[in-house]
Amino acid sequence: MGVCMEVLIVDWAHLESVPAEQREDLVEEAAFGPDDAYDYDLPPGWTWPDPTQARWWARYEFLDTMTSYKAHFWAGERWDELRAFVDAPRRDALDQFSAPLFWDGSTYASQTSGFSPTVEPDTCDWATRLDVMLWLLPHEVAALHRCWGQVEPHLGSLREPFDRHLAEPIGWIKDFPSFSRLVTEWGDVVSQAARRNWAVIGLRS
């Protein structure tokens, strides 16, 4: 597939206060570094702006994915196999929470509750150059954070059905720890954004 994704959490109110013609450049520089940056190879995990700069954004790189979306795709494939063995309340919560994280996950969210957390990129008319995979506005992040509150306490209970029914180690998500880690990292992204009433942007790189 060859798709890479850069994830930002952003102060949406700050972005909206900036003239529309400047927003693309701000977001692009936050995700990919300044145009004159010789090497912008950041370590996995969180990157925050320099303390001397306005703290309106943070960048997150998922661990052990090299920014590739393949891990997300394969986590979605494993969840597609696993969800039949999970009770309805936990399945519905993870369907909704994982919709922006897994490839085509929004299908599950719409089936279970009508909740679709992704905003079509073309609703942001200033993002003409940016190759956006998803927008999550602050109120949508808050909804996902509530779902995470239902998912997190029971995530470990999925290990037993995962190990029992998904024995074949295929793709990038070969075992329950790798599946759980990706979901938990997404929980951290959502939590950090929700705590600040910020938005989430996923950019294709």
Domain layout of the chain by residue ranges: 68-205
| DSSP three-state, residue 59 | strand
Token couple for 81: 């196999």
The answer to whether 89 touches 151, Cβ cutoff 8 Å, is: no
pLDDT in tens, 46-95: 999 888 777 899 999 888 777 778 888 888 888 988 999 999 999 999 99
The answer to whether 32 touches 40, Cβ cutoff 8 Å, is: yes
- Kindly list the distances between the CA atom of residue 65 and the CA atoms of 41, 109, 119, 178, in Å, as whole numbers in the listed order: 14, 25, 24, 10
Whether pTM > 0.95 for this model: the answer is no
pLDDT in tens, 15-59: 989 998 898 888 988 888 776 555 666 777 999 988 877 789 999
